[in-house]
Amino acid sequence: MAEFDYDLFVIGGGSGGVRAARWTAMTGAKVGLCEEYRYGGTCVIRGCVPKKLMVFASMFSEAVEDAAGFGWSHTGSDFNWPFFIKKKDREIDRLEEVYQTNLEKTGVVLHRARGTLTDPHTVALSTGETVTAKHILVAVGGTPFVPDIPGGEHVISSNEIFHLKEQPKRMLIVGGGYIACEFAGIMNGLGTRVTQFYRGAQILRGFDDEVRGHIAEEMRKKGVNLHVGRDLVGIEKTDSGLKVKCTDGTFSEHDVILYATGRVPMTKGLGLEDLGVELDRAGAVVVDKYSQTAVPSIYAVGDVTNRANLTPVAIREGMAFAETVFKGNPTPADHELIPTAVFTQPEIGTVGMTQEEARETHDIEIYRATFRPMFHAFADRDQRMMMKLIVDKPSRKVLGVHIVGPAAGEMIQLVGIAVKMGATKEDFDRTMAVHPTAAEELVTMRDPVPG
């Protein structure tokens, strides 16, 4: 009789947990997985995928305007919110089925249940069943954080925005991170009157300062009513909407208030601390470079560890876990030089150091280009693109690349390869330009910014 029911039991069916389960099962190990909501996790169900579909939808209003600048005659029309939401739901259903099918194909035993740990090798399921495993992997992800404010029961988070029955005419978005800024662009593009409050001095904390300023300016030009240094202190429901009192004493009224003020790891009630698993001040599971916790049989990957909360990172951590524990090939997850796209409008692509980070430890040169892309210039649209290279003077190594503008996410994926390989400014310079493209600016910037 086997000592354990499973060689590996995974708690959480998101990107990291699913990849770890599948890769482990392919080694011949017996794997079980429990998920209390839907397979696919935040990214597929209520994150990157439905958000990107909304980004696509929101871009057509501007595309219709631009078409006139190219000679097309057109008449505007309203966005059909219920049609889009219904079609989006069908696509998410399809993707969840793909995730489930792929797990079952590799032999992973699935449990539609919440799992909590009762000892280092035992998981109690909400169905009443108890399972044991030689190794347990916690991959439960994160959840939106909404602060406690008067009238807070009237707000929604990024979870609920995908399921609104009607498109709001007036929306307040509270927050200045990438989720808040992405939804500001989305809802503005769909025709909602968008106001955004951020209590800090500038949106997108942690990004390059010039990028932050550029995006804020472009968002305002597109019609987002962005206020920095402002927060709200209370919400009152009235017959005509939601009345908001601001920190500066002013009042405003909105139909929907979206709080996008960060996310927190979903560790509450899992039983981790009782077993000796260390959690940090934010509630994240503390792990070593191999994703192992202080309890040798328990590991954790993905957003629950709060290392780099991105889908591809969770997937890579899940693969590294399987390599380390089940293939005998110790593999730390590599969190250095992660290319990242932010689907603001215009979008951001970034990899490596910001200017502020780099100048703390390096003697640097900055190469920058700001310009109106050919498309926007011809369409008479006042939208500027920015590209920026941060270069270490002594070694000539490119420390960071920052792009703001159309297809920035697509570009940064490929630029990320060069930066990861240690490319120098001269490697960029001797690469032939592709003309006419916006991306050619990356290899044609000859002179550093003075000073």
Strand partners, 43: none
**Residue 254 catalytic?**
no
* Beta strand ranges found along 97-220 (DSSP E): 109-111, 115-119, 122-125, 130-138, 142-144, 170-174, 193-198
* The amino acid at 185: G
Picking from 225, 228, 221, the residue whose alpha carbon sits closest to that of residue 253 is 225
Q: Report the C-alpha gap between 100 and 122 in whole angstroms.
A: 24
Residues 6+ apart with CB under 8 A from 20: 8, 10, 137, 139, 301, 317, 318, 319, 321, 322
Q: Do 224 and 172 contact (CB within 8 A), yes or no?
A: no
Task: Name residues whose C-beta falls within 8 Å of residue 394's C-beta, 6 or more positions apart in sequence.
Answer: 363
Options 163, 227, 362, 435, the catalytic residue: 435
Per DSSP, the three-state class of 306 is: coil
Q: Would you say the C-alpha torsion 87, 88, 91, 96 has a positive or negative sign?
A: negative
Q: Which two tokens stand for residue 396?
A: 């000539």
Contacting residues for 398 by C-beta, under 8 A, at least 6 apart: 352, 389, 390, 391, 392, 418, 419, 423, 424, 425, 427, 428
Residue 140: name the closest of 34, 11, 20, 38 by CA. Answer: 11
- Please tell me whether residue 300 adopts helix, strand or coil conformation: strand
What does the angle CA 284 – CA 288 – CA 290 come to, to the nearest 5 degrees?
115
Q: Dmax of the chain from CA atoms?
A: 76
Distance CA 115, CA 5 (A): 15
How far is residue 8's CA from residue 33's CA, in Å, rounded to a whole number? 8
Burial 214-237 (b: 16+ CB within 10 A, else e): bbbebbeebebbbbeebbbeebee
Contacts 24+ apart (CB under 8 A), 247-251: 247/199
Point out the residues that are catalytic. Answer: 435
